[in-house]
């Protein structure tokens, strides 16, 4: 029988950025469920390979000491493994699969009335329905530029056909010269500014994402800041942002301090002159994220 300490339950606040990285970058199963005194149950059906050493890890929020949030693994022969506290935010169990075959993983939540988030990962065995972040390859800058140039050329041809045979007046010439000057002035890449203002992102278990492109210059330092709130209020570990360059992950948003509940930030140095992607994520199913995103280049 699982023993639960009902008194002296200690809630521990930890760095949300750390939990956000775990949730976002691990292949796993994420979800939410509300606890009750008897232990609200969340189950996952597994198929175990034979004679394999494996480890199951459950990261959860809120962070609590004891076994208020925990899991057991059952096979038709009985209990195969039971989790123990690795930290206030993590339960884990290592075991050998033995004969293998079907198994049921039971997650328990004894926090009465408390909505809890979890991310389950495994080593040595597969988790059905596990999600892995897959990066969409951005179109090369040359392709984007070629498409834009083609659009401009098509518009120029259409305009020429409309005005064919008409003599251009001096004001028209002046307007064209002014337009060309504006195009030349806008040519340098935008290296800072507001990427998103008043944006929303509804979370789901697989991870909802909002992507924003940022032009950077090699060797320059940049700080990205996300100011946010949620429909439910409070602090959530499955919310944040990451910055990606052509070679992969560059930076992950983190809280400036432990008690800051509405800001994530990340500072990085651009490794090359290119387009970077700032990706906002929300893994909390049904939770609406409200946010603004700003990128500033350092002097």
Q: Determine, yes or no, domain membership for 135.
A: no
Residue 280 in domain: yes
- 34 vs 163, which has greater pLDDT? 34
Instruction: Read off φ and ψ for residue 186, nearest 5 degrees.
Output: -85, -5
Give the pairing type, strands 78-82 and 69-75. antiparallel
Q: Which of 76, 91, 123 is the last residue of a domain?
A: 123
For the chain, give me the number of helices (H) and strands (E)? 3, 17
Mean pLDDT along residues 37-49: 88
Mean pLDDT of the chain: 74
Chain segment 254-277, per-residue pLDDT in tens = 877 666 668 889 999 999 999 999
In a domain, 137, yes or no: no
Domain C-terminal end among 95, 123, 151: 123
**Strand order in 274-282's β-sheet?**
208-216, 274-282, 239-245, 248-252
| Per-residue confidence (pLDDT) for residue 17, from 0 to 100 | 32
More confident residue, 63 or 217: 217
Q: How much is the pLDDT for 135?
A: 35
For residue 49, pLDDT beyond 90:
yes
Does residue 163 lie within any of the structural domains? Answer: no
The whole model's pTM is what?
A: 0.42
Q: Is residue 178 part of a domain?
A: no
For the chain, the domain total comes to: 2
Q: Categorize the per-residue pLDDT at 62 as very low, low, confident or very high, splitting at 50, 70 and 90.
A: confident
**Chosen domain end from 79, 106, 123:** 123
Sign of CA pseudo-dihedral 171, 174, 180, 181: negative
275: CATH: 2.60.120.380
pLDDT digits (tens, 9 = 90+) for 220-255: 999 999 998 887 777 777 889 999 999 899 999 887
**Domain boundaries, position 66:** 16-123
- CB within 8 Å of 8: residues ≥ 6 apart: none
HEC assignment per residue over 13-75? CCCHHHHHHHHHHCCEEEEEEEECCCCEEEEEEEEECCCCEEEEEEEEECCECCCCEEEEEEE
Does any domain span residue 27?
A: yes
Examine the pLDDT at 190 and tell me if it is beyond 50.
Answer: no
One domain for residues 119 and 208: no
**pLDDT digit string, tens, across residues 82-125:** 999 988 889 999 999 999 999 999 999 888 777 777 888 999 99
**For residues 222 and 189, is the Cβ–Cβ distance under 8 A?**
no
* Collapsed DSSP state (helix, strand, coil) of residue 147: helix
């Amino acid at each position: 029988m699982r023993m639960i300490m009902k008194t002296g339950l200690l809630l521990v606040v930890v760095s949300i950025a750390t939990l956000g990285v775990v949730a976002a970058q691990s292949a796993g199963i994420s979800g939410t469920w509300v606890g009750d005194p008897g232990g609200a149950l969340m189950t996952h059906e597994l198929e175990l390979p034979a004679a394999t050493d494996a480890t199951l890890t459950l990261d959860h929020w809120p962070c609590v000491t004891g076994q208020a949030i925990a899991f057991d693994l059952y096979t038709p022969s009985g209990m195969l493994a039971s989790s123990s506290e690795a930290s206030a935010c993590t339960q884990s169990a290592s075991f050998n699969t033995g004969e293998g075959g079907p198994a049921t993983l039971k997650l328990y939540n004894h926090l009465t009335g408390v909505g809890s988030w979890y991310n389950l990962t495994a080593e040595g065995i597969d988790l059905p329905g596990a999600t892995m972040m897959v990066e969409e390859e951005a179109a090369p800058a040359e392709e984007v530029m070629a498409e834009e140039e083609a659009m401009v050329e098509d518009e120029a041809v259409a305009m020429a056909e409309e005005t064919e045979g008409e003599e251009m007046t001096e004001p028209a010439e002046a307007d064209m010269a002014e337009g060309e000057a504006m195009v030349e002035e806008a040519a340098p890449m935008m290296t800072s500014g507001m990427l998103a203002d008043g944006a929303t992102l509804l979370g789901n278990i697989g991870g909802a994402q909002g992507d924003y492109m940022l032009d950077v210059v090699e060797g320059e330092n940049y700080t990205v800041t996300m100011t946010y709130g949620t429909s439910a209020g409070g602090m959530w570990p499955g919310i944040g942002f990451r910055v990606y360059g052509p070679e992969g992950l560059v930076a992950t948003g983190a809280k400036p301090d432990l008690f800051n509940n509405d800001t994530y930030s990340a500072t990085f140095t651009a490794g090359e002159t290119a387009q970077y992607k700032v990706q906002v994520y929300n893994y909390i199913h049904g939770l609406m994220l409200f946010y603004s995103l700003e990128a500033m280049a350092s002097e």
